[in-house]
Structure 1
Amino acid sequence: MHTIASTLLVPLALWSLGALASPAAVPSANAPVRRAQVSSLTQMTSTQLNDLAPFTEFARAAYCSPSIVTGWQCGEACQAVPGFQVSLTGGDGDSIQYYYVGYWPTQNAVVVAHQGTDPTQFLSDLTDANIPMENLDPTLFPGVDSSVEVHSGFANEHAQTAPAILAEVKTLIAANNAQNVILVGHSLGGALAELECMFMALNLPSNIAIQGVTYGTPRVGNPAWASLFDSKITNFMRINNEKDIIPIVPGRFLGFSHVQGEVHIVSPGDAVECPGDDDATDGQCTIKTVPNVFEGDILDHLGPYQGIYIGTIYCT
């Protein structure tokens, strides 16, 4: 356990160093995913939590090498969602995170999943550390106002795969008359999935429903990004586990803000939906639970998310 914790602290340390170096910014499988868009703290039911399991397995599978994800032969994660049809894989797990695209027949949905940070891969860590914000590429995100800014490392990583993924998504929609596109990811993969939700919303027909489920996701952009995202993406959940540190970085003092949709797992089987973008009021939500990185537990980043762990070492 000590080795795992030490390894996971690498990207966190880089995030922290980047924060200190950066100038201050101006401040269900059987039911559709729904955003945790609530006006007050809301307890989740056991059924709601259990319905998230297929999405958790999709996020877990993204850590597996494309050589075994192709053909959906990645062990427990793939076995948990039988019948899923992978059509595109890519990435090297370092300069480009692993990703896959496929069709989920039982939901008539296209699924895109991105791998999170592998702390043993140097270029992956540098992506996390590239904290200064920048405008979105107007060729990928047409019509977005210049006030919207996002984490440079996340934006640059997303741009490397976005055209190929969009082309595959369009092909699968046409071939299957799919009505939904689901974006999933954990950690850095969650940040990429959040960007991809907006990217798909701006580049697909309006009749295609965009859904997102992310796990242990860091903050992606500024308040203008959060406002835009909240206005465009109506089905989204970002799930934080207990005292996970990653969802509180990069810090709000750097001008970052989460989007809506926080679900906080307080303890196994006990989770709440938190209102607003960055709920700093309710004691059961992440900011109050983990007020700073010294009061968190990096091992909670791996899970369990309703009994499922996510990370490179859990690709079995």
Structure 2
Amino acid sequence: MFLLALCICWNKLVVVGALPNSTTSYLQQSNVYVLSPSELASLAPYSQFARAAYCPPSVVDGWMCGEACEAVPDFLVSLTGGDGSDTQYYYVGYWLFGDTVIVAHQGTDATKLLAYLTDVDIFLESLDPLLFPGISSSVQVHSGFANEHAKTAPTILAEVYKLLDQYGAESVTLVGHSLGGALAELDCLFLALSLPSNIAIRGVTYGTPRVGNPAWASFFDSTVPDFQRINNGKDPIPIVPGIFMGFSHVRGEVHITEPNYAVSCPGNDDATDANCTIMTVPNVFDSNMLNHLGPYQGIYIGSLFCT
């Protein structure tokens, strides 16, 4: 029922054009190219981190969230929060194998109406000067995403500082799916501007909608070069809000066109290659909402898969 309602809602926003990109540290190519099996496999832990973000803090606290937690057993949770309604679930911790601080945000939950309404609040606004000081007012983002991000940003920043000092880590990785991907994208820039310059920022998101305007995309790309947006099949969410509404994607698209096959796409909302999302999903009527849930490297993401 929720998926039908979400499809109807996005259909009202009709959007043509989507995302192609490629700006992550090891995907810097000028043309579309096929990811190797090892590159695809390397993304699986981040899919599990994004999946775990849908689980309530009561189970994430002890890293007891079922398959997602079991897949990355060397992760040490230090902070959980959110109620899944007024504020999306989130968690912060340190991943031993990756030697990085992980920050993960919950996406749109089918059972939480308030989060869903936040997802369709599609006005653009300038960045909060308290969180993003000195940034031009021409850099604008989705107001609903900005409001949701502001609820947790200071708390997350304080925890990230604590963990970087505690473990001597020099990188932070932001992950999320759907709305959680949008929050992770905002966090990437927020942390890049807030942390010392020697701290590397990486983002890995799934089924993420457009977050801001072209000025946002340009500033983000120049500040956060290590970023991947992973889209699956004919998922319609990455093509909304529409370009015609003043939105633009950041770089870094990885498009899964079929199981175990994905391509890296260059540029911002580039419509030149049939393997990239904007050509695969030209509008919401030619889409498949179930693709929003996965599979991503064989992993499904959403509250239904918090097992």
Q: Which amino acid aligns with 1:160?
A: K
Q: Does the CA-based 8 Å contact 1:37-1:276 persist in structure 2?
A: no
Matched, 1:55 2:46: yes
Q: 1:303 aligns with which of 269, 288, 294?
A: 294
Question: Whole-Å Cα distance in 1 between the matches of residues 228 and 219 of structure 2?
Answer: 16
Q: Which amino acid aligns with 1:237?
A: Q
Query: Which residue number corresponds to residue 71 of structure 2?
Result: 80
Query: Which residue number corresponds to residue 164 of structure 2?
Result: 173
Matched, 1:120 2:111: yes
State the identity as a percent. Answer: 65
Q: Which amino acid aligns with 1:13?
A: I
Q: Does the CA-based 8 Å contact 2:11-2:284 persist in structure 1?
A: no
Question: Whole-Å Cα distance in 2 between the matches of residues 147 and 267 of structure 1?
Answer: 38
Partner SS state of residue 8, structure 1: helix
Partner SS state of residue 212, structure 1: strand
The 5 A counterparts of 1:101-180 are: 101-180=92-171
Query: Which residue number corresponds to residue 20 of structure 2?
Result: none
Question: Whole-Å Cα distance in 2 between the matches of residues 148 and 10 of structure 1?
Answer: 31
Question: Whole-Å Cα distance in 1 between the matches of residues 27 and 302 of structure 2?
Answer: 24
Question: Whole-Å Cα distance in 2 between the matches of residues 305 and 279 of structure 1?
Answer: 22
The 5 A counterparts of 1:1-316 are: 6-17=1-12, 19=13, 34=25, 36-316=27-307
Which sits farther off after the overlay, 33-42 or 94-103? Answer: 33-42
Question: Whole-Å Cα distance in 2 between the matches of residues 134 and 9 of structure 1?
Answer: 29
Question: Whole-Å Cα distance in 1 between the matches of residues 48 and 7 of structure 2?
Answer: 24
Partner SS state of residue 282, structure 1: coil
Q: Does the CA-based 8 Å contact 1:36-1:236 persist in structure 2?
A: no
Which sits farther off after the overlay, 221-230 or 113-122? Answer: 113-122
User: C-alpha deviations, 1:226-265, integer Å up to 9, x for none?
Assistant: 0001000111100000000100000100010000000000
Partner SS state of residue 107, structure 1: coil
Q: Which amino acid aligns with 2:152?
A: T
Partner SS state of residue 101, structure 2: strand
CA RMSD of aligned residues (A): 1.2
Query: Which residue number corresponds to residue 3 of structure 1?
Result: none
Question: Whole-Å Cα distance in 1 between the matches of residues 213 and 11 of structure 2?
Answer: 18
Q: Does the CA-based 8 Å contact 1:260-1:276 persist in structure 2?
A: yes
Question: Whole-Å Cα distance in 1 between the matches of residues 300 and 53 of structure 2?
Answer: 13
Query: Which residue number corresponds to residue 24 of structure 1?
Result: none
Q: Tell me the matched-pair count.
A: 298
User: C-alpha deviations, 1:290-310, integer Å up to 9, x for none?
Assistant: 000010000000000010000
Shift of 1:36: 4.0
Shift of 1:120: 2.3
Question: Whole-Å Cα distance in 1 between the matches of residues 28 and 277 of structure 2?
Answer: 16
Question: Whole-Å Cα distance in 2 between the matches of residues 260 and 37 of structure 1?
Answer: 11
Question: Whole-Å Cα distance in 1 between the matches of residues 277 and 11 of structure 2?
Answer: 18
Shift of 1:15: 4.2
User: C-alpha deviations, 1:266-299, integer Å up to 9, x for none?
Assistant: 1001100001011211000001000000100000
Question: Whole-Å Cα distance in 2 between the matches of residues 9 and 230 of structure 1?
Answer: 34
Shift of 1:95: 1.4
Question: Whole-Å Cα distance in 1 between the matches of residues 226 and 7 of structure 2?
Answer: 29
> TM-score under structure 1 normalisation?
0.92
Query: Which residue number corresponds to residue 25 of structure 1?
Result: none
Shift of 1:144: 1.1
Unpaired runs of at least 5, structure 2: 15-23
Question: Whole-Å Cα distance in 2 between the matches of residues 151 and 278 of structure 1?
Answer: 17
Partner SS state of residue 151, structure 2: helix
1:47/1:35 CA distance change after superposition, 3 Å: closer
- Larger RCO, structures 1/2 (Cα 8 Å, 6+ apart): 2
Unpaired runs of at least 5, structure 1: 1-5, 21-32
